[in-house]
């Protein structure tokens, strides 16, 4: 048993898909943002506002180190965590990493309800910012196998991941 790790931009469905995938595999689900909130005691927007993004990125490195020591987890990482090669080096030995991908309009529609939860997008022109960040991060996300999520149900996305896992699963 290993871990399965999900990365991808905000709003690509990591948490929703990760929960379903964990159920399908009989693994435990962990979301790194929730892990950080549980350990710090503050919300993500409050950590960004009071301590800055660098402090949040330090928490992400701690989450990566702690969770990499466990097995049998589906780990939904915050959208920036695996863009740091040091975090990739820590997590990759614990299991395969998949990157969920979506078009900017899909991302915007999925995030509209809770944009205030995402400090990086909580600004007057979120659509422009999404396109800008996606361009900046294209190479970083491109390192991982891509799972397309547009026009697909969470169950269909889980099925895609399970199919890719099949050859390497040892139950």
Phi, psi of 162 (to 5 degrees): -60, -40
Residues 65-94 that bind ligand S3P (CB under 6 A): 78-80
Tokens 């991982």 locate to: 144
- As a whole number of angstroms, the distance between CA 132 and CA 128 comes to 6
- Is the Cβ of residue 16 or residue 152 nearer to ligand S3P in the bound state? 16
Residues 24-43 that bind ligand S3P (CB under 6 A): 33
Segment lying near ligand S3P (by CB under 6 A), choices 62-70, 86-94, 96-104, 117-125: 117-125
Cβ at position 47, least distance to ligand S3P in Å: 9
Q: Is 148 helix (H, G, I), strand (E, B) or coil?
A: strand
Please state the separation of Cα 27 from the chain's center in Å. 17
- As a whole number of angstroms, the distance between CA 35 and CA 158 comes to 22
- Is the Cβ of residue 96 or residue 137 nearer to ligand S3P in the bound state? 137
Where along the sequence are the contacts to ligand S3P (CB under 6 A)?
10, 14, 33, 44, 78-80, 118-120
């Amino acid at each position: 048993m290993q871990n399965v790790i999900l990365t991808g931009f905000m709003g690509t469905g990591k948490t929703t898909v990760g929960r379903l995938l964990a159920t399908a595999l009989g693994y435990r689900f962990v979301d790194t943002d929730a892990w950080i909130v549980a350990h710090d005691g503050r919300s993500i927007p409050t950590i960004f506002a009071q301590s800055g993004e660098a402090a949040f990125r330090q928490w992400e490195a701690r989450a990566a180190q702690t969770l990499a020591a466990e097995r049998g987890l589906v780990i939904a990482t915050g959208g920036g965590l695996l863009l740091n090669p040091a975090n990739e080096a820590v997590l990759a030995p614990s299991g395969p990493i998949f990157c969920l991908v979506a078009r900017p309009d899909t991302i915007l529609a999925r995030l509209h309800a809770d944009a205030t939860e995402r400090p990086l997008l909580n600004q007057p022109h979120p659509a422009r910012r999404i396109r800008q960040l996606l361009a900046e991060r294209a190479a970083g996300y491109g390192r991982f196998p891509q799972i397309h999520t547009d026009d697909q149900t969470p169950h269909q996305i889980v099925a895609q991941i399970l199919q890719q896992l099949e050859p390497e699963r040892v139950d």
